[in-house]
Amino acid sequence: MNNITLIVKPHSEAAKPLAEQIYTLLKEKGKNILLEKRAAGVLNLPENSAKEIKEKSELIIVLGGDGTLISAIRLVEDKDIPILGINLGRLGFLTETKVEEAIQVIENIIEDNFRCEQRMKLNGKIVNGEAEFSMDVLNDIVIHKGALARIIEMDVFIDNMFVNTYRADGLIIATPTGSTAYSLAAGGPIVIPTMNSILITPICPHSLTHRPVVVPDNSEIKIIIKSEDEKIFITFDGQIGKKLEKNDEIIIKKSKNYARLIIPKNRNYYSLLREKLHWGDK
pLDDT digits (tens, 9 = 90+) for 57-96: 999 999 999 999 999 999 998 899 999 999 997 778 899 9
In the Cβ-directed half-sphere of 221, how many Cα atoms lie within 13 Å? 27
Q: Which CATH number fits domain 121-256: 2.60.200.30, 2.60.120.260, 3.40.47.10, 1.20.1250.20?
A: 2.60.200.30
* The pLDDT of residue 282: 65
Once rounded to an integer, what is the mean pLDDT over residues 272-280? Answer: 84
Binding site membership for NAD(+): which residues? 66-67, 139-140, 150, 167, 169, 239
Q: Give the gyration radius of the chain's Cα atoms.
A: 20
As a whole number, the mean pLDDT across the chain is 93
Instruction: Quote the Cα angle for 188-135-190, to 5°.
Output: 15
pLDDT digits (tens, 9 = 90+) for 105-127: 999 999 999 999 999 999 999 99
End-to-end CA distance of the chain: 45
* The pLDDT of residue 78: 87
Once rounded to an integer, what is the mean pLDDT over residues 157-175? Answer: 96
By annotation, the residues acting in catalysis are 66
For the chain, give every domain's residue range.
Answer: 3-114+265-277, 121-256
CA 11 to chain centre: 21
3-state SS, one letter per residue, for the chain: CCEEEEEECCCCCCHHHHHHHHHHHHHHCCCEEEECHHHHHHHCCCCCCHHHHHHHCCEEEEEECHHHHHHHHHHHCCCCCEEEEEECCCCCCCCCECHHHHHHHHHHHHCCCCEEEEEEEEEEEEEECCEEEEEEECCEEEEEECCCCCCEEEEEEECCEEEEEEEECEEEEECCHHHHCHHHHCCCCCCCCCCCEEEEEEECCCCCCCCCEEEECCCCEEEEECCCCCCEEEEECCCEEEEECCCCEEEEEEEEEEEEEEECCCCCHHHHHHHHHCCCCC
pLDDT at residue 281 tops 80: no
pLDDT digits (tens, 9 = 90+) for 195-253: 999 999 999 998 888 899 999 999 999 999 999 877 899 999 999 999 999 999 999 99
pLDDT band at residue 189 using 50, 70 and 90 as cut-offs: very high
* The pLDDT of residue 185: 95
pLDDT at residue 267 tops 90: no
Distance between CA 43 and CA 131 in Å, rounded?
A: 41
**Cβ burial 208-219 (10 Å sphere, 16+ → b, else e):** eebebbbbeeee
Angle between helix 102-110 and helix 15-28 axes, rounded to 10 deg: 30
C-beta separation of 74 from 139 below 8 A: no
* The pLDDT of residue 162: 98
Q: For the beta carbon of residue 98, count every other beta carbon within 10 angstroms.
A: 13
Once rounded to an integer, what is the mean pLDDT over residues 133-158? Answer: 92
pLDDT band at residue 149 using 50, 70 and 90 as cut-offs: low
Q: Which CATH number fits domain 3-114+265-277: 3.50.50.60, 3.40.50.300, 3.40.50.10330, 3.40.50.2000?
A: 3.40.50.10330
pLDDT digits (tens, 9 = 90+) for 4-36: 999 999 887 888 999 999 999 999 999 999 999
